[in-house]
Amino acid sequence: MELSRRLNPITDKQVQWAYAHCLEHIAYRTAKNMLTCGDCGHTWKSESTLGDTLCGCTCPNCGKTLEVKDTRKRTFRQCCYFCVVTVCKGCQVIRIVMVKADSRKGNAMTFFSKEVAQRWIMPDGKVITVARLRGLGFTYKDLWIFESEMEVRPHHAIYDIISHCEHYPKVRVLPIFRRNGFKGSFHNATPFRFLHSLLTDSKVETLLKAKQYAVLSRFIHTYDMKRKWNSLKICIRNNYMIKDAVMWNDYIELLEIYHKDTRNAKYVCPTDLKAEHDRLSARRERELERIREKNEREREIAEKEAKIREEERLRKDELLYAEMKGRFLDLAFSDGMINLHVLQNVQEFYEEGKAMNHCVFTNGYYKKENVLVFSARIGEKRIETVELSLETMQVVQSYGIYNSITEYHEQIIRLVKENVRDIQKRMVA
Ligand SMILES: [Zn+2]
């Protein structure tokens, strides 16, 4: 903290650089081809008649190069970070500054900037973060309490997230980094991770000294490249420069799929990387397509077989039902208003269940041995479905649509009771 307090404030020049380089500068364009500069608020008529092909312009008032946006919005808010790479008393420091810009159509843009975090890399590789407090909202990266103090804070992923930002071009690094091969470029990695890795991971130093620049950022920021260190070593040993890290990485993974020796320069260092990559990836694509087709065919066959099994099962159930309930099937009673009849087959269970929205079919009542199921109707209209126990000769349940009890419920139960004797006769017959 003592060292942190010794740092000079972020300079005006640094902030001005960020406003110019890290923010978008736009011109609002309306239907009438009028342009409004988002930076100074000046409005003018565009000379370009080919409106659609115009994508950049220069403000005649402030001279800024602007990106043209067809928008009806009247405000444009931006927020981003940039960092200043510097040193302080033998420590490497990455200072992270938040920049905000508010543009209102027709007004000059307003700016705001504040340093929110410093990442201190000690010569032994230890990292200490000094930062302001963040507001609630755990990973929301724009929420800082600007009036809070810069203090040493425990690590949080947010500090890595905001470290992914542009850096002020003038950088100062500890002599050890120069000795380890640093010449001013971070090779598309974030300055913080680049310098920290260079201090703590000798492989990064090796890659840097071997000038494998295309690989560096991916090696530092992702695990997949670290996993290929053995192949990378072969490239370095053979002075093979990897120019496209993404393609080379994919290519090595294809080699692994085909069990090729990824420590053999013959495979790892192809003269024409693109041709080899494309050849293998086309082969892989064909394979995956074949697998997909095979799976599709198997799924279709399985579906067909399941359907056949289902039909067979239903056929068996029909036979079983006819056998179990055959002697009851012609039973039908009426009190002049309500008609009761025994459900005739599995198909009728299905229709009854569907019409009444209950589970007489789905729960397989047609399979129950000591049960007789009636449909109680007035004319053709279904009123309730009745389950009678053949053991006790009692109505177990009788329900209308959606398992409701209808106004005819008692009447239906009475009608069953009156005819119990007839049903019993069938059982001994
Ligand atoms: Zn302007």
Q: How far is the CA of 226 from the centre of ligand 1 (A)?
A: 47
Q: How far is the CA of 59 from the centre of ligand 1 (A)?
A: 5
- The length of the chain, given as a count of residues: 429
Q: How far is the CA of 28 from the centre of ligand 1 (A)?
A: 11
* Six token digits for residue 173: 């690094």
Mean pLDDT of 55-84: 87
Q: How far is the CA of 60 from the centre of ligand 1 (A)?
A: 7
Mean pLDDT of 250-269: 94
Q: State the chain's maximal CA–CA distance in angstroms.
A: 109
How confident is the model over 274-295, as pLDDT tens digits? Answer: 999 999 999 999 999 999 999 9
Q: How far is the CA of 37 from the centre of ligand 1 (A)?
A: 5
Q: How far is the CA of 97 from the centre of ligand 1 (A)?
A: 25
Q: How far is the CA of 12 from the centre of ligand 1 (A)?
A: 21
Q: How far is the CA of 13 from the centre of ligand 1 (A)?
A: 20
Cβ atoms of residues 22 and 80 within 8 Å: yes
How confident is the model over 292-310, as pLDDT tens digits? Answer: 999 999 999 999 999 999 9
Q: How far is the CA of 67 from the centre of ligand 1 (A)?
A: 12
Q: How far is the CA of 122 from the centre of ligand 1 (A)?
A: 44
Q: How far is the CA of 44 from the centre of ligand 1 (A)?
A: 10
Q: How far is the CA of 210 from the centre of ligand 1 (A)?
A: 46
Q: How far is the CA of 58 from the centre of ligand 1 (A)?
A: 8
Answer yes or no: is pLDDT of 119 > 90.
Answer: yes
Helices (H), 128-190: 157-163, 175-179
Q: How far is the CA of 42 from the centre of ligand 1 (A)?
A: 5
Average pLDDT, the chain: 91
In this structure, the strands spanning 26-29 and 65-70 are parallel
Task: Supply angle C-alpha 181, 184, 188, rounded to 5.
Answer: 95
Answer yes or no: is pLDDT of 403 > 50.
Answer: yes
Answer yes or no: is pLDDT of 148 > 80.
Answer: yes
* Six token digits for residue 115: 């340093």
**Hunting for tokens 């009890």 — which residue is that?**
405
Amino acid at residue number 398: S
> What is the three-class DSSP state of 318?
helix
Task: Domain ranges for the chain, please list them.
Answer: 2-167, 326-428
Kindly indicate the confidence band of residue 95, based on its pLDDT and cuts at 50, 70 and 90: very high
How confident is the model over 339-382, as pLDDT tens digits? Answer: 999 999 999 999 999 999 988 998 999 999 999 999 999 999 99
Residues 6+ apart with CB under 8 A from 202: none
Q: How far is the CA of 53 from the centre of ligand 1 (A)?
A: 21
Q: How far is the CA of 109 from the centre of ligand 1 (A)?
A: 10
Counting residues of the chain whose pLDDT is more than 90, the rounded percentage is 75
Q: How far is the CA of 38 from the centre of ligand 1 (A)?
A: 7
Q: How far is the CA of 63 from the centre of ligand 1 (A)?
A: 6
Q: How far is the CA of 146 from the centre of ligand 1 (A)?
A: 30
Q: How far is the CA of 285 from the centre of ligand 1 (A)?
A: 52
Q: How far is the CA of 56 from the centre of ligand 1 (A)?
A: 13
Mean pLDDT of 122-135: 92
Answer yes or no: is pLDDT of 53 > 50.
Answer: no
Task: Supply angle C-alpha 66, 71, 72, rounded to 5.
Answer: 135
Answer yes or no: is pLDDT of 429 > 70.
Answer: no
Kindly indicate the confidence band of residue 49, based on its pLDDT and cuts at 50, 70 and 90: low
Q: How far is the CA of 107 from the centre of ligand 1 (A)?
A: 10
* Six token digits for residue 266: 């013959």
Answer yes or no: is pLDDT of 116 > 80.
Answer: yes
Counting residues of the chain whose pLDDT is more than 70, the rounded percentage is 97
Q: How far is the CA of 16 from the centre of ligand 1 (A)?
A: 16
Half-sphere exposure of 227 (CA within 13 A, CB side): 8
Q: Could you tell me which of 60, 83, 66 has the C-alpha nearest to residue 14?
A: 83
Q: Which fold has domain 326-428?
A: Aminopeptidase (3.40.630)
How confident is the model over 167-223, as pLDDT tens digits? Answer: 999 999 999 999 998 999 999 999 999 999 999 999 999 999 999 999 999 999 999
CA 103 to chain centre: 32
Q: How far apart are CA 373 and CA 337, in angstroms?
A: 19
**Hunting for tokens 């000690």 — which residue is that?**
122
Q: How far is the CA of 81 from the centre of ligand 1 (A)?
A: 23
At 350 the pLDDT is 94
Q: How far is the CA of 20 from the centre of ligand 1 (A)?
A: 13
Answer yes or no: is pLDDT of 402 > 50.
Answer: yes
